[in-house]
Chains A and B, each alone.
Chain A
Amino acid sequence: MKFLPSLIAPWALSRFGMLGMNERNRRYIGRYNPRSLFPLVDNKRLTRTTLSSADIPMAALIGVVDQQSQVKKIASLVEGHQGFAIKPSKGSGGKGILIVTHKDGDEWVKASGGRLTVEDLKRHISNILSGLYSLGGAADVALIESLIHQAHHFDDYTVEGVPDIRVIVCRGYPVMAMVRLSTHASDGKANLHQGAVGVGIDIATGEALAAVQHGQLLENHPDTGKHLGELVIPDWEALLVMASRCYDVTGLGYLGIDIVVDRDHGPLLLELNARPGLAIQLANNAGLLPRLRRLDKLTAADTRLPPEERVRRSREWFADESVFDKTVQPGVKLAE
């Protein structure tokens, strides 16, 4: 049996309530996300103006470069800022994001330790403008945001990158959440398919439920050895309310919301995703379908309740039990 890939029976998955790609596309994205609203999330500059008018906090904007002629002013633009991030407005999946932690002499230092000259910065921004990172190569603009400082809370749970919290919000109700922790394997990136650890978070409490890396359950962070079962997100309720409000602002009924917790400013919205992935179910060791079906039955009036009330209901409905301790995997090293 070793040669055959392991498979699970479709009825078993169905009993588990796993949401599949086809069903997500047709039932949830197709039904709840009108195509005309997609630019709101695919264009970060637009997301930013929409969300800031609704007072949803984001990382401070240092500047926008939208013409090649402005590229040479980059040095004066970031003058006085210790760290910053350069992002393509229409990039997806974290492509084209350059993070600078501080300046050292004439050079800037990246999160990974690499050094950049002013020419490197200019080239990167120029690439963004010509559409290197945008879908279909369309012309783009570069956003320069101030650096997010990791809350001390997460210090032992991650290497290099700041962990981000993904909340799925359906019709305004938070349904499922996870934290993505970067590892050496993921090269400091919080992308699950590149080897980051996904930790499912209980909607009711903000506590860790289960953790996966490369699709396998695990107990401890592979690099720091920290027991992931102890992870708790601070300010959980405020964070959920913030996620929930994104529905009212954008009108998108099936949203993936990425939030980071800043050392000084608390939860900040990172980006929105109109096609959130399915891996969150693995990190929670639970399927989305039973929860989504419950929300399918809501009336339009239910979706217009204040966000605080929606969060209260979600926390009541979607509480889950941790699988840590119950599923100690053979071969996983426990922390000393």
Chain B
Amino acid sequence: MKPASTLSFYTLIVLLVLAGVSLILQRHWVYEVPLIHGETQTVWSVEALVEFEAGDQSVKVSMARPADQPGFTLLRQSGASPGYGLNFVDGPDPRAEWTIRRASGIQQLYFQVDVLESDMSQSEIITPPVLMEPDWQEPYRSAIYRLSKDAWDASSDNFSFARELIKRLTEEESPQHIQLLKRAYNGRLPNLLAEVLNNSSVHASVVYGLELEDRRRRQMLTPLLRVWDGDSSKVFRLYEIKDERPLADDEEKPLLLWEQRGAPVLDVIGGENSRIRFSMLRREESTYSALNDSLPLQSSLLNFSIHSLPVAEQAMFKTILLLPVGALVVCLLRILVGIRTSGTFMPVLIAIAFMQTSLGTGIVGFILVVAAGLVVRGYLSRLNLLLVARISAVIISVIAIISLFSVLSYKLGLTEGLKVMFFPMVILAWTIERMSILWEEEGGREVMIQGGGSLITAVLAYGAMQHPLIQHLTFNFMGVQFIVLALILLLGSYTGYRLFELHRFAVLKR
């Protein structure tokens, strides 16, 4: 550092902070994005990607669109697909229709919809479909009759009848005739249920919904069952139903009904191998801007914010934008506190893994994998291998250990254990290699210090990155990144004492 650069250094810091603050204020005032997490409503951006192979002929694609429904209000929808004509068909069965005169090769069509979580929409009356007359073969026929009769006897109306049927079909330990049906209709249980209900003159159809979970990509629709009782209807999820738990209003994930009436979700004429995948992203918006369509997201070329990217990419960015916060935590702990970690930014990567595994599982998994890895590495070190080969061998051992833990925990009924798969394996292998060298050279004490330091740093970085307010700020305000950068630069020029040095030099007190 030459003295001449001091001035320009602080100018840079001031400029960064100013840029950050003005960007934040601009987002806040112009786009009405609230600074505090609380005063908002949740908006889900859902993107459907339709893919198919066109056969060098005219193509017509018809896709079901979600409509207003209890729990959700539609805000905006848009489609994108070069060369195609796009038409939104409204009415009781809203659909999006893409048409083109000639297309060949793999085609990709996008449809994006923003829905607001709200209780404003009333459940509209949906006319029941016509009853089907199923034609079952023996031995299924008698099994179905028996199931149907049992459920009928144990119920009072159409809804409780449906519930009893679902309960019987999803129980883990079921009588033989149900087992037979489950095997035959494996994966098509909703269709079976609709048929059984129809057979008892109850209107029912299979509808499709999307379980909303932040930052999910490549999701598929979940088949559900809609059952009518007169004009009113209800949607049932086909989970294993516990007696005490009420149906349909599952608290865990909100469920957006994509198709409500039993019509096909996707209909492609002139193409084959079609499929549909969904990406989704959760955003907090102020009530005003969420309901106001006057500021469309792709308003101008000048809108360079990442919010103009497709939802799938935005979902990825949401995690990436948290990394600077993790880096800041590492800087704070190393420069101000003096914690020693093994690998400078390894703790941040571990913290990201913790975000996917949940903290407790993550810590236990991390310790188990590293401990088992150290044992394996202990053996490898006796073989006297060259470094690259040794690390590669450790990577393979880590994968083996992770697979073993996954299988073991699954067999033991601990599905949480499956989440160890989220750990970055190459990073873990390097961590094990470093700790093992450390063990040989400095002894177990130093391994505990650095391993513990890494874990503490990872937990603190996790705490920061997991905080809803920090997630809200980093994703919605690009300006925060500038301020974080300015802070990190400032920390880089800090020459004061570290907290640990205050302890180390405490002997000088006299």
Contacts and interface: CB of A to CB of B under 8 A. Distances in A.
Given A6-B503, A13-B497, A21 B508 contact: no
Interface string A207-223: 00000100111000000
A215 B504 CA distance: 7
A21 B1 contact: no
A127 B384 contact: yes
Interface size class of B (residues with CB under 8 A): 20 to 34
7 contacts: A13-B505, A18-B501, A23-B496, A27-B1, A217-B507, A281-B505, A282-B505
A280 to B, nearest CB: 12
Nearest to B502: A7
B94 interface: no
Interface string B471-510: 0000000000000000000000111111001111111111
B37 to A, nearest CB: 34
Given A30-B1, A31-B1, A23 B495 contact: yes
A38 B364 CA distance: 41
Contact of B509 (A12, A30, A126): A12
A222 B498 CA distance: 31
B170 to A, nearest CB: 54
B498 A18 contact: no
A98 to B, nearest CB: 14
Nearest to A94: B441
B332 to A, nearest CB: 12
A8 B386 contact: no
A48 to B, nearest CB: 23
B503 A26 contact: no
B508 A7 contact: no
Interface residues of A, number: 36
Contacts of B509: 6, 8, 12
Interface in B353-406: 384, 386-387
B387 A130 contact: yes
A31 B510 CA distance: 33
Given A26-B1, A31-B1, A95-B441, A18 B505 contact: yes
Nearest to A9: B502
A95 B441 CA distance: 7
B335 interface: yes
A184 B387 CA distance: 34
Nearest to A6: B506
B31 to A, nearest CB: 40
B221 to A, nearest CB: 50
B501 A13 contact: yes
B506 A20 contact: no
- Please indicate which of the listed interface residues B441, B497, B506 has the most CB atoms of chain A within 10 Å of its own CB: B497
Contacts of B502: 7-10, 13
A137 interface: yes
A3 to B, nearest CB: 14
A5 interface: yes
B13 to A, nearest CB: 16
A20 B497 contact: yes
Interface string A1-41: 00001111110111010101111001100110000000000
B338 interface: yes
A16 B502 CA distance: 12
B98 to A, nearest CB: 55
A20 B495 contact: yes
Contacts of A282: 505, 507-508
A159 B174 CA distance: 78
Interface in B139-192: none
Contacts of B498: 20-22
B506 A8 contact: yes
Given A9-B502, A20-B496, A30-B1, 12 more contacts: A7-B502, A7-B503, A8-B506, A13-B497, A13-B501, A16-B508, A20-B495, A20-B501, A31-B1, A215-B507, A217-B507, A285-B508
Interface in A181-199: none
A200 B387 CA distance: 40
